[in-house]
Structure 1
Amino acid sequence: MKHFFVSILVAALIAPAAQAQDLSDIFPNMVPKVFPETRMWRPPIYKNQSKSLGYDSKAFAIPKGMEKQVQFWVDVYAKYTSEQGILHDSDNVEKIYQIVDLKGLKTEREKQKRIDEVKKEIIQKQGLNKEQSANLRYQLGQKDRMQQAIFYSGRYVEDMEKIFREEKLPVELVRMVYVESSFNIMARSKVGASGVWQIMPYTARPFRMVSSSVDKRNHPMDATRTAAKLLKSNYNMLQSWPLAVTGYNHGPTGVAKMTKSYKSRDIAHLIENVESRRSFGFASRNFYACFLAALEVEKNAQKYFDTVLWSKPLPAQDLKLPVSIKYKDLVKWFDGDHEKAQVYNPHLTYNVIKKGFRIPSKTVISVPKEKYNVALISLSHKGRSIASDK
C-alpha cells in the first residue's frame, strides 16, 4: 500500500469483429504474451447496493474543495500518454508549470535529462525560490497505460466485485486496484508491498498470507478478500469512506489521529491544512483524489477513449493439491510454458520457481481447464506412489 501506482478503469464500445483482433496495434510493446483474447467491455454496475456498508448515492461524490485536484488526476489518466508528463507543484498539483514532451526519447536517461533541463528552465525563467523549486515535481502521463490496465482488469474485476458484494461493501472500492497496481499481478514495491492490492508484509501477517512457498498477497482473489476485510475495518474505525480509503494508503490509525488533532473529518480540509499535510506524504494526500479520478474516467470512458478492450477471464480451474509437488510438475500441465504457469499462479514464490522448494499439499493452484483431468490423474499417481513408499 505504500507503493504508489496510479491507474484506472477506462472503456469504450467495440464492434464484435474487434474481439479477436491483435492487441499489438492498440498496446504496442505492452502486449501480454499470455491470452490476448479480447471481449466487449461493459460499463460498471453500481446498482442494488442499499445494504452496502456506508453506502448512498453520494458516497463517492467529489468533496468540495477537491475538484481541481481530482481533475489533475483525470488529465493524468485520460489526457496525457506516457510520452508526456506534467511539471507541477507537489503541494498544489493543479498548479502546472509546463507539459513536457518525451516523444522520440528512447532511454530513461534521455528522458530524465530532458525533464531536468525543463525544470532548470522553469526555475530560472519564473524565478522560483528554494521552497518552490523543491516542490517542482514531474508526473508521467498514464493514458496508454490505463488502456492496458483495463485490458488486464477484464480477467479479474467481475470476480472481485462479487467478493465485495458478498462482504456488503461498495463495489466502487474495487477500483482502488487501479490506483495501487494498474492490475499488474506481478506488482512488487521496494518497500515490500506486493500484489494487485499492494499489501504490506506487516498487514498480511495477521491473515497468515505469506510462507516461504506461497504468498497469497499475489493471488488476486485471496488479496481481494483480505483487502475487503481491511477496508471494512477502516470504515468501522473512521465511519467515512473518504477517510477509510485514505487510511488504506496512510494507515487508518494515522488518519484517526489526524481527525482528532485537527478536529475535522473533512478529507479536503485535512489535505489542504498546512499543518496536517505535514503528516501526509504525496501519495497519501492524493490517494483519494486518484481513486475518484478513476471512477470519473471509467464512468465516462467513451468520452475519453476511442477503444478499450477487456481480456477474457483466464480459462482456469482451481485445484487443491492432495500432495506436495515441484514447480516443474506444475509447468507440465501448461505444456512447458513457464510464463503461462506464473500468470495462472502468481502466488507461488521465487523459492518455488527458482530454488526448487516444493509446492505444499493443500495449496490451491490453477491449471488450464482442459488440463484439469490430466492434473488429477497425475496427482492421483503421485499420491499412490507416496503411500506405497510409506
Structure 2
Amino acid sequence: MAVTQWLSRLCVAATCLGGMTAKADETSTNAALDAGIRTAQSGAILAADPAVAPAPVPPVRRPDLAKADADDILFPRYPILAPNVAFWTKVFSEYSENQSAIHDMNNLDMVFEVLDFTSEAAYMDPGSLRRLKNAEEAAALTRTRKLLEEVHEARYQPETLNVEQRRIFDLFSKNTDDARFANAAKALRSQRGLRERTQMALETSGNYLPAMEGVFQSYSLPLRLTRLPLVESSFNVEAYSKVGAAGLWQFIPSSARIYMRLNDVVDDRRDPWTSTDGAARHLRDDYAALGAWPLALTAYNHGRGGIARGLSQTGGTELPDLIRGYNAKSFGFASRNFYAEFLAASDVERNWRKHFGEIQRKTPLEFDVVETQHYVPYETLRRLCNADDEVFRKLNPAYRPEVIAGKLYVPPGHLIRVPAGAAQNFTVGYAQLGDHERFDQQRVNYLLHKVKRGDTLSKIASRYGVTQASIRNNNRVGKKGVRAGQVLKIVPHSEARPGPVTVAVGESKPGLTRAEKHASDAVAKAVPKPSKAGYRTHKVRYGQTLTSIAHTYKVSLRDLRQANDMGSSSEIRVGDKLRVPVSR
C-alpha cells in the first residue's frame, strides 16, 4: 500500500473510531514513517516505535515538568510513587516466581524478608509447592508482625534489641513517626515475583503488540498504553480472574458490555484484537473524563466514577492527592499501586535486554479477514479456510463453547480471521455451500433457570441480558410474574457491538458485526425513502431474522434496512417494531 494511501486511511479510521482529532502533526508523521511502520498481509498497521507515536493533547504543562520529555509529561513520575515504582520493577524483573517479598503495603521500600523456594521448586509438584508457599508466607507474616510489635515496645531503648529486632529498627532510620513500627505491623503483605511470567509475556506480546499499536494509533492514543496487559494479564489470552475479569485487558462483564459484545455467541474479552479496540475506547473515555493519564489508568482499575468521587472528596486534581487523602475502603492497595505498576512494567519492557538479556519475541500473527452472510456452523467456517482447530481458535478465540460444539451458529455479519492467503479459497467455498450448511436463523439453545425466592422477572432478565418480553413470550408467565421453583427457558440473543467500528485499519476486529459500511450506507442514503403511507408495521417474533421477514413480505433486505435506518446491520430483537415497505 502506498504511504499516502495508508495515511489517508489512517486519518479516516481515526475519525470514525474515536471522534477525536486523528491527525498527528507533521513532525510526528515524518518520524513515524522514518521508524518504518509496516503493514501485514491483512492490512493492519504494525509496529511503530512508541517514542514517535502520535498522542492526545497532553494536560497543561506544569512548570516543574517543562523540561521533561513528552512521555514524562503524559505519564509523570510523582516523587510519592518513586518507592512503589522501584518495588514493582523488582517484582516484574528481579524477584522470581519462587520468591515472596514480605513488605509494608503502605511503604513499599520496606521489604523485611524475601522467602526463596527455588530449591523446593526443583523437586516438588505444583500443588505441594503452592501449599508450602502459602504456609511459609503466613508464618513469615506472623513472625515479622511479632518483630515489629516487639520493636515498637522497645523503640525508646534500642540498645536492648537483639540482632533481628535491631535489623528491623534500622530499616526505619529515616522514619521518625512514633507509630512507625506499630503501623507497619498492621500493614504487612506478601508479594510473589513475576520475573518468569514477565519474560514469557514479553515473548508472547510479539504476536499482538504491533496490531495493538495500530489500533491505539488510530485513536491517537499514546502507544505506551499498549503495555498495560503486562500488568493486567501478562499477555495471557486465557487469563481469568476470581472476580470474573477476562482476557488480555481483563474486562469485567459490566465494562465489557459497554465496549464490546458479551453474549451467548461470543465473549469479545477473549479476543486480543477486539478487546484491544474496546480497551482503547475505554481508556480514551477515562482520559476525556479525568484529563490526565495517571488518573485515567487508575480509573481503568478502580472505576471512573470512583476516581471522580475521590477527587471531589479530597479537593484534589492529581493522583498523589488521592494517594495521600482518599481513604475509601474501595480505594485499596491494588488501586493505589496500579499506575506505579504500569510505569514499572512498561519501563521493564522498554529495557528488556537490561533485565532479561536476549529473548525470542514471537512474530505478529498474520491473517486475512472474511465475513459471514448467513448463520453458519463454526466447523464449516474452519473447514472452508483449511485451518486446523488450534489455528482457527487462536485467530477467532471469542466464540463460546456452544458455538464451537455446534449448538449455536456463527451469525451473519461476523468478521472471521483466516490464515493469511486463505481468503480467496474461503470465498469460493462459501459460495458453494448448500442449504444444509448456511441458514436464515439461529439455532435455539435454551438456558434453563430455576426461579429462587426473591427472583423477579426484571432481575432474571437483567442477569441473562434478555428482555422481560422475551421471557414472557417463551414461558407461561402471567401478570403475577414468576414463582419460586418455576423453571424458565431463557432464549439467548445476539447483541450488536456498541461503539464505533471501522474496517479501514486492516480489518483487525473480526468477530464484530460491522455497524457501518460507509460506501453502501452512502448509496442507501442517496435513495429516497418511501412515503410514510407506504409502510406497514411488523412486530418481531421469536425465531425471526431480518432475512426471513424480508422474504415473508417480498421486499429486499436493503429496502427493509433503509426503512428502519439500520445502515448495514441485521440485528433485531423479539418485540422490535419494524417498518416494512409495501411491495409494488
- State the TM bucket, normalised to the shorter chain: 0.7 to 0.9
RCO (CA 8 Å, sep 6+): is it higher in 1 or 2? 1
Judged with a 3 Å threshold, the aligned counterparts in structure 2 of structure 1 residues 278 and 109 are, in CA distance, closer, same or farther, namely same
| 1:99-123 residue CA offsets vs partner (Å, 9 max, x unmatched) | 1112123331122222223223323
Please say if 1:261 is aligned against 2:326: no
2:380 to 306, 329, 335: 329
State the distance in 1 between where 2:438 and 2:321 align: 65
1:365 to 402, 416, 422: 416
Shift of 1:225: 1.6
Shift of 1:167: 0.8
| 1:256-304 residue CA offsets vs partner (Å, 9 max, x unmatched) | 111111111221231133x536441221111100011122212222221
Please say if 1:47 is aligned against 2:99: no
1:60 to 75, 90, 96: 75
Match of 2:353 in 1: 302
Compare 106-115 and 287-296 and name the one that shifted more.
106-115
State the distance in 2 between where 1:43 and 1:307 align: 21
1:78 to 88, 93, 100: 93
- Please give the secondary structure, in 1, of the residue aligned with 2:315: coil
State the distance in 2 between where 1:209 and 1:351 align: 16
1:90 to 96, 105, 109: 105
1:213-362 counterparts in 2 under 5 A? 213-273=265-325, 275-276=326-327, 278-332=329-383, 337-354=388-405, 356-362=407-413
Shift of 1:76: 0.3
Judged with a 3 Å threshold, the aligned counterparts in structure 2 of structure 1 residues 387 and 300 are, in CA distance, closer, same or farther, namely closer
Judged with a 3 Å threshold, the aligned counterparts in structure 2 of structure 1 residues 336 and 367 are, in CA distance, closer, same or farther, namely closer
| 1:134-167 residue CA offsets vs partner (Å, 9 max, x unmatched) | 5321111111111110111111111111111111
Match of 1:160 in 2: 212
- Please give the secondary structure, in 2, of the residue aligned with 1:94: strand
- Please give the secondary structure, in 2, of the residue aligned with 1:276: coil
State the distance in 2 between where 1:109 and 1:339 align: 33
Judged with a 3 Å threshold, the aligned counterparts in structure 2 of structure 1 residues 372 and 134 are, in CA distance, closer, same or farther, namely farther
Shift of 1:333: 5.7
Shift of 1:53: 3.4
1:116-155 counterparts in 2 under 5 A? 116-127=138-149, 132-133=184-185, 135-155=187-207
| 1:290-341 residue CA offsets vs partner (Å, 9 max, x unmatched) | 0111222122222212122211122322221223232333444676743333
- Please give the secondary structure, in 1, of the residue aligned with 2:432: helix
Match of 1:194 in 2: 246
Judged with a 3 Å threshold, the aligned counterparts in structure 2 of structure 1 residues 43 and 148 are, in CA distance, closer, same or farther, namely farther
Shift of 1:217: 2.1
State the distance in 1 between where 2:438 and 2:308 align: 55
State the distance in 1 between where 2:48 and 2:412 align: 40
Shift of 1:127: 3.2
Compare 238-247 and 293-302 and name the one that shifted more.
293-302
Compare 101-110 and 179-188 and name the one that shifted more.
101-110
- Please give the secondary structure, in 2, of the residue aligned with 1:184: coil
Match of 2:222 in 1: 170
1:212 to 252, 264, 281: 264
Compare 315-324 and 162-171 and name the one that shifted more.
315-324
Shift of 1:212: 0.7
| 1:346-378 residue CA offsets vs partner (Å, 9 max, x unmatched) | 111122234632222222222222543443333
Compare 329-338 and 62-71 and name the one that shifted more.
329-338
State the distance in 2 between where 1:53 and 1:222 align: 25
- Please give the secondary structure, in 1, of the residue aligned with 2:52: coil
Give the residue type in structure 1 aligned to 2:426. A
Shift of 1:189: 2.2
- Please give the secondary structure, in 1, of the residue aligned with 2:429: helix
Shift of 1:52: 2.4
State the distance in 2 between where 1:43 and 1:168 align: 13
State the distance in 2 between where 1:325 and 1:282 align: 47
Judged with a 3 Å threshold, the aligned counterparts in structure 2 of structure 1 residues 113 and 164 are, in CA distance, closer, same or farther, namely same
| 1:40-72 residue CA offsets vs partner (Å, 9 max, x unmatched) | xx99432153x5232744211311211001110
| 1:219-257 residue CA offsets vs partner (Å, 9 max, x unmatched) | 222212221212121111111111111111111111011
State the distance in 1 between where 2:259 and 2:340 align: 29
CA contact (8 A) 1:327 1:356 kept: no
State the distance in 1 between where 2:100 and 2:383 align: 44
Match of 1:111 in 2: 133
CA contact (8 A) 1:334 1:340 kept: no
State the distance in 1 between where 2:279 and 2:421 align: 31
CA contact (8 A) 2:290 2:308 kept: yes
Larger Rg belongs to? 2
State the distance in 2 between where 1:350 and 1:53 align: 43
State the distance in 1 between where 2:408 and 2:228 align: 33
- Identity percentage of aligned residues: 31
Judged with a 3 Å threshold, the aligned counterparts in structure 2 of structure 1 residues 387 and 288 are, in CA distance, closer, same or farther, namely closer
Shift of 1:82: 0.8
Show structure 2 runs of 5+ residues with no match: 1-46, 60-69, 151-180, 441-550, 552-584
State the distance in 1 between where 2:385 and 2:224 align: 35
Give the residue type in structure 2 aligned to 1:46. A
State the distance in 1 between where 2:328 and 2:352 align: 32
State the distance in 1 between where 2:439 and 2:329 align: 65
Judged with a 3 Å threshold, the aligned counterparts in structure 2 of structure 1 residues 150 and 329 are, in CA distance, closer, same or farther, namely same
